[in-house]
Amino acid sequence: MRDPCAISNGLESFPAEADTREYAASLDATDPLRGFREKFIIPSKANIVSKKLAKPGLSPEPCIYFCGNSLGIQPKATAKYLEAHLDTWSSIGVGGHFTDIEDSPLKQWQLLAEQAAESMSKIVGAASEEVAAMGTLTMNLHLLLASFYKPTATKHKILMDWKAFPSDHYAIESHIAWHELDPKQSMVLIGPDEGESEISTEKILRYIDEHAAEAALILLPGIQYYTGQLFDIKKITEYAQSRNLTVGWDLAHAYANVELKLHEWNVDFAAWCTYKYGNSGPGGMGGLFVHERHGQVDYSEGEDVPKFRHRLTGWYGGDRSVRFKMDNKFKPIPGAGGFQLSNPSAIDLTSLCAALSVFDETSMTDIRKKSVKLTAYLEHLLLKDTTDETRQFDIITPSNPEARGAQLSLLLKPGLLQQVSQRLQEFGIVCDKREPGVVRVAPAPLYNTFTEVWTFVEQLKAALN
């Protein structure tokens, strides 16, 4: 278990008066990102416990929303962007595909995916051509695995997290079975050592060495959804590739949460959803990354015989210059855009572009800087005046700020989850719980405050006592 003073030895330290509301308010007053909270609609305390929604303005007291790791809240820009889209649709119908409307925040529908990809590329550290806004997380994982998982008789194994989110597990299992292989033989699960919650980088590298001769691919989460551990993407990618493994990452919990440099780190492929820290709305359009070296199109043998990485192809992956010729000669868009399938939902893209407009006003460097301090403050208050013997929870998320994002996962003592969850809900605090005893707390730096962190810890300790 961790030393309650450990946070003072990390990147952040706090004074003796840090456990007061006044100190939390002082942090909010000097927060460079404090203005971004006004760009979001915070759900009210009344609405989160009611089945009949109160009209805006009648229940103004906001809840404390620490569930951005599951679903981010709505940006105020969303309504404006959706209205612009609906106005285009109602006014010019099919012409919306090809017409740039003056004073609209949106490009023509045919270019909306590129508009989103350009903004997303800054969030994941890639060139805009390496990113595509399309589909959903699991769909994109299937498409990428269809292109990048090429098992042979000798190299067929896929290395993955032992507690992978079902999207990853089911997708990998089904692709192994599609190739008529046995998942029990071809799936290699990497878990923590006995008594630990964190999977060390060293253990992952050992597994790579152990299975390199038979492994074709490694697919890990950028951040483990349950524990909140942030993996060393750069080091693991470089090492796995040196052992001749293709490297993919599920960035569902890392996108818009931590700084990423997918191009610089030479990642082969990645996929993510955008509705968690990205705030695009429930089931919002996902994204994928394909490194530029895998997206090249070679015309050295003529315009009619392009050479490109095999993938499951679709009409919208074809270059716009020939897309409407309808001659069934596939000429892929260079880069990740060539992995697109069909005409994407303009409504989903509109919601995504609205959320991205907020990120366009800042940077992941600044977001991450606040996130580290916000999470450190949360940890400091949780551990203050407690010992291993008196504390009724363990923080199973790594204490090293470089090994976690905005989430702390609290493993409660047996039998406490329901009473704690009920108390938090009654006070208007929204967190995510995972049976049998984990509360996942995720203060999002764009809209959460230090005062909210202070209030949460006060109510949590009251619930535990």
Give pLDDT tens digits for 344-395: 999 999 999 999 999 999 999 999 999 999 999 999 999 998 888 889 999 9
Say if residue 3's pLDDT is above 60. no
pLDDT score for 164:
86
- H or E stretch including 421? helix 417-427
Q: Which CATH code, of 1.20.120.1460, 3.30.200.20, 3.30.420.40, 3.90.1150.10, is assigned to 21-69+366-464? A: 3.90.1150.10
Task: Report the range of poorest mean pLDDT among 9-23, 63-77, 370-384.
Answer: 9-23
Give the residue-averaged pLDDT of 69-87.
Answer: 98
Share of the chain above pLDDT 70, in %: 97
What are the CB-based long-range contacts (under 8 Å, 24+) for 181-190?
A: 181/151, 181/156, 185/157, 186/151, 186/156, 186/157, 186/158, 187/157, 187/158, 187/160, 188/157, 188/158, 188/159, 188/160, 188/215, 189/160, 189/161, 189/162, 189/164, 190/159, 190/160, 190/161, 190/162, 190/220
Give the residue-averaged pLDDT of 83-110.
Answer: 96
Tell me the pLDDT of the chain averaged across its residues.
94
Distance CA 320, CA 194 (A): 54
The CA dihedral of 369, 252, 134, 368, to the nearest 10 degrees, is 0
Give pLDDT tens digits for 251-293: 999 999 999 999 999 999 999 999 999 999 999 999 999 999 9
The response to whether 167 counts as a known ligand-binding position is: yes
The response to whether 168 counts as a known ligand-binding position is: yes
The response to whether 138 counts as a known ligand-binding position is: yes
Distance CA 332, CA 337 (A): 8
Give pLDDT tens digits for 296-321: 999 999 988 999 999 999 999 999 88
Question: What are 39's two structure tokens?
Answer: 């760009």
Q: Which CATH code, of 3.40.640.10, 3.30.360.10, 3.40.50.720, 3.40.250.10, is assigned to 111-357? A: 3.40.640.10
Residues of the chain with CATH 3.40.640.10: 111-357
Please check whether residue 285 is in contact with residue 345, taking contact to mean a CB–CB distance below 8 angstroms.
yes
The response to whether 460 counts as a known ligand-binding position is: no
pLDDT score for 50:
83
The response to whether 165 counts as a known ligand-binding position is: yes
How many angstroms from the chain centroid is the CA of residue 262?
A: 14
The response to whether 352 counts as a known ligand-binding position is: no
pLDDT score for 70:
97
Residue 133 buriedness (CB in 10 A; 0-12 / 13-18 / 19+): buried
The response to whether 166 counts as a known ligand-binding position is: yes
Give pLDDT tens digits for 111-157: 999 999 999 999 999 999 999 999 999 999 999 999 999 999 999 99
pLDDT score for 169:
93
Reply yes or no: is the peptide bond before residue 436 cis, omega within 30 of 0: yes
Give pLDDT tens digits for 327-346: 888 999 999 999 999 999 99
Residues of the chain with CATH 3.90.1150.10: 21-69+366-464
Give the residue-averaged pLDDT of 211-232.
Answer: 97
pLDDT band with cut points at 50, 70 and 90 for residue 11 = low
Which residues have a Cβ under 8 Å from the Cβ of 360 and sit 6 or more positions away?
A: 119, 122
pLDDT score for 58:
56
The response to whether 255 counts as a known ligand-binding position is: no
pLDDT band with cut points at 50, 70 and 90 for residue 5 = very low
Find the radius of gyration of the CA atoms of the chain: 23
Give the residue-averaged pLDDT of 58-66.
Answer: 85
The response to whether 106 counts as a known ligand-binding position is: no
pLDDT score for 322:
81
Say if residue 1's pLDDT is above 60. no
The response to whether 262 counts as a known ligand-binding position is: no
The response to whether 162 counts as a known ligand-binding position is: no
pTM, rounded to two decimals = 0.95
